């Protein structure tokens, strides 16, 4: 990533020191550990009303370090509560425990956003020119998509990076059927588990038990027949997995990300200010002249300005412009991307998010497939040399 982008990230962190200190001090207050553990503590100082995930949500989302910090804060509250019996020991112990938890959270908050990208491609650097070559839907804006949850990225890796062959012929490429076994039911059962025949067979066996107890004779017979087909087909099914997961550092803050679902009044205050400055965007000014964009949006959607969601604002910009100019307008006023709840969290008050990033200069790949990039690069170089040597007929490798 370019040096200037990193320096800008450091400056942003220093500029937020005052509010961050107040947020940190709040974690030291009695009972804040309980509040944090229950998922009721503010996520940041933006005034958006967003809360940090609860202890249970962090465990569910495999955010174990966050859960540990919450546990330290809760243990500190319990130590404070014991002071009638332990005196100064309880106060000192509580302060130490809560301090460790708070400092851990503050240290993590000052770092880049850690996110994951699942892809069918192998690369060393994100390229905006390759945008849309993965899933391709771009349903939440045009940019490069990342998941806060590693599980979400692994799901995309599996869907987009799997090739299934039957008897030597490709029947599934990425998440789409491109061929057939000659039996549509068998096709569906194989593709349902991306060619994992063991899972397909176990599912069929379970469905037979269910049909026998609660279903009809026809359902029972259908599953019996297809279980036999799956077992017969298993030796002919071959799976090639080409997908990779990229652990990535995003050098942006919540104040630079437009929340897709929240109305303007619930966006972080810094984002509200940036949106109010849209008229300063050279690209938008050329289109609108002196007309106020938010007023135009208000008229278009027949809503009050405070009720305009991130989605509405983006969609209107997207309707007006072609190619990537909607993203260019947002970037020109300091909005680096879009944030929205992932499939595990949509419809809930908190959880994990996905990100759409407009500018590749604020991205750093930290790991690929869990192997540090320098190591992965050495491995790939070694493999490449080996393959070329074999092609050249060499035997001394």
- Per residue in 14-42, pLDDT (tens digit) is 344 455 567 677 777 888 888 888 888 88
Task: Check residue 397 and give its pLDDT.
Answer: 27
**258 and 361 part of one domain:** yes
Nearest to 351 by CA among 337, 363, 336, 340: 340
State the DSSP H helix or E strand holding residue 187, giving kind and residue range, or none if neither: helix 184-192
297/303 Cα distance (integer angstroms): 8
Residues 128 and 254 in one domain: yes
Q: Rounded CA gap, 127 and 123, in Å?
A: 9
Q: Per this entry, what is the length of the chain?
A: 397
Co-location of 153 and 186 in the same domain: no
Q: Are residues 139 and 255 in the same domain?
A: yes
Assigned domain for 380 exists: no
**Distances, alpha carbon 64 to alpha carbons 54, 55, 60, 326, 364, in Å:** 12, 9, 9, 37, 23
What range does the domain containing 155 cover?
A: 113-159+246-367
> Is the residue at 8 inside a domain?
no
Residues 34 and 81 in one domain: yes
* pLDDT score of 250: 93
pLDDT less than 70: residues of the chain:
1-21, 23, 44-50, 61-62, 105-110, 130-137, 323, 369-397
Torsion angle in degrees (nearest 10) through CA of 144, 150, 153, 155? -170
pLDDT at 15: 42
**In this structure, are residues 184 and 191 in contact, taking their beta carbons and an 8 Å threshold?**
no
How high is the pLDDT of residue 229?
96
Residues 284 and 356 in one domain: yes
Among left, alpha and beta (phi > 0; psi -120 to 50; other), residue 15 is alpha
Residue written as tokens 């690069």?
377
Q: Of 143, 85, 66, which is closest to residue 326 (Cα–Cα)?
A: 143
Residues 255 and 126 in one domain: yes
Output the CA angle 333-335-338, nearest 5 degrees: 150
pTM for the model stands at 0.63
- The reply to whether 251 and 132 lie within a common domain is yes
| 105 occurs within a structural domain | yes
**How high is the pLDDT of residue 112?**
85
* Residue 168 forms part of a structural domain: no
Task: Return d(Cα 50, Cα 69) in angstroms, integer.
Answer: 19
Residue 87 located in a structural domain: yes
Residue 75 contacts by C-beta under 8 Å, 6 or more apart in sequence? Answer: 33, 97
Task: Domain count for the chain, please give it.
Answer: 3
Asked if 142 and 347 touch (Cβ cutoff 8 Å), the reply is no
**pLDDT digits over 129-139, tens only?**
766 554 545 78
In this structure, the strands spanning 176-177 and 337-341 are unpaired
Identify whether residues 359 and 278 lie together within a single domain: yes
- Beta carbons within 8 Å of 334's beta carbon, 6+ residues apart: 256, 274
**Pick from 217, 241, 265: which residue ends a domain?**
241
Which pLDDT does position 232 carry in this prediction? Answer: 97
Q: Give the model's pLDDT for residue 106.
A: 64
Evaluate whether residue 381 is within a structural domain: no
Residue ending a domain, among 218, 241, 264, is 241
Q: Is 71 found in the same domain as 87?
A: yes
Measured between alpha carbons, how far is 311 from 289 in angstroms, rounded to an integer? Answer: 23
Confidence at residue 29, expressed as pLDDT on a 0 to 100 scale: 82
User: What is each CA distance from 56 to 70, 155, 315, in whole angstroms?
Assistant: 10, 22, 35
- Cβ–Cβ contacts within 10 Å for residue 330, how many? 28
Residue ranges of the alpha helices (H) in the chain?
3-15, 17-27, 32-37, 55-60, 64-81, 83-86, 88-109, 150-160, 184-192, 197-214, 217-233, 269-276, 282-288, 293-301, 310-320, 325-332, 373-391
Q: What was the pLDDT predicted at 49?
A: 65
CA 308 – CA 304 distance, rounded (Å): 7
Judge if 328 and 206 occupy the same domain. no
Residue 340 forms part of a structural domain: yes
CB atoms within 10 A of CB 35: 19
Half-sphere exposure of 395 (CA within 13 A, CB side): 0
Task: With respect to residue 12, please indicate whether it lies within any of the assigned structural domains.
Answer: no
- Are 253 and 147 within one domain? yes
């Amino acid at each position: 990533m370019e040096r200037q982008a990193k320096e800008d990230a450091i400056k942003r962190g220093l500029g937020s020191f005052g509010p961050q200190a107040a947020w940190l001090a709040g974690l030291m207050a009695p009972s804040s550990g309980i509040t944090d553990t229950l998922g009721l503590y503010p996520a940041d100082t933006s005034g958006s009303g967003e809360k940090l995930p609860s202890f249970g949500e962090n465990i569910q989302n495999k955010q174990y370090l966050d859960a540990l910090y919450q546990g330290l804060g809760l243990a500190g509250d319990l130590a404070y509560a014991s002071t009638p019996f332990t005196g100064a020991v309880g106060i000192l112990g509580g302060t130490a425990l809560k301090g460790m938890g708070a400092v851990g959270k503050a240290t993590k908050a000052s770092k880049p956003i850690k996110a994951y990208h699942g892809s069918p491609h192998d690369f060393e650097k994100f390229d905006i020119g390759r945008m849309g070559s993965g899933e391709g839907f771009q349903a939440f804006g045009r940019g490069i998509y990342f998941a806060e949850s590693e599980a979400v990225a692994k799901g995309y890796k599996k869907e987009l990076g799997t090739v299934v062959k039957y008897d030597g012929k490709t029947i599934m490429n990425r998440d789409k059927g491109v061929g057939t076994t000659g039996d549509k039911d068998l096709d569906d059962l194989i593709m349902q588990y991306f060619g994992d025949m063991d899972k397909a067979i176990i599912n069929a066996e379970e469905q037979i038990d269910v049909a026998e107890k609660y279903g009809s004779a026809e359902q029972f017979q259908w599953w019996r027949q297809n279980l036999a087909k799956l077992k017969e087909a298993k030796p002919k099914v071959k799976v090639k997995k080409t997908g990779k997961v990229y652990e990535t550092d995003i050098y942006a803050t919540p104040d630079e990300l437009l929340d897709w679902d929240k109305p303007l009044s619930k966006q972080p205050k810094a984002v509200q200010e940036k949106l109010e400055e849209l008229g300063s965007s050279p690209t938008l000014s050329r289109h609108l002249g002196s007309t106020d964009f938010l007023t135009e949006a208000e008229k278009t959607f027949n809503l009050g300005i405070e009720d305009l969601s991130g989605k509405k604002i983006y969609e209107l910009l997207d309707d007006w412009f072609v190619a990537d100019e909607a993203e260019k307008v947002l970037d020109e006023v300091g909005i680096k991307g879009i944030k929205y709840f992932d499939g595990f969290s949509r419809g809930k008050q908190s959880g994990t998010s996905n990100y759409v990033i407009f500018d590749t200069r604020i991205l750093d790949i930290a790991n690929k497939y869990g192997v540090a990039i320098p190591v992965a690069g050495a491995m790939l170089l070694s493999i490449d040399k080996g393959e070329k040597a074999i092609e050249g007929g060499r035997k001394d490798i």
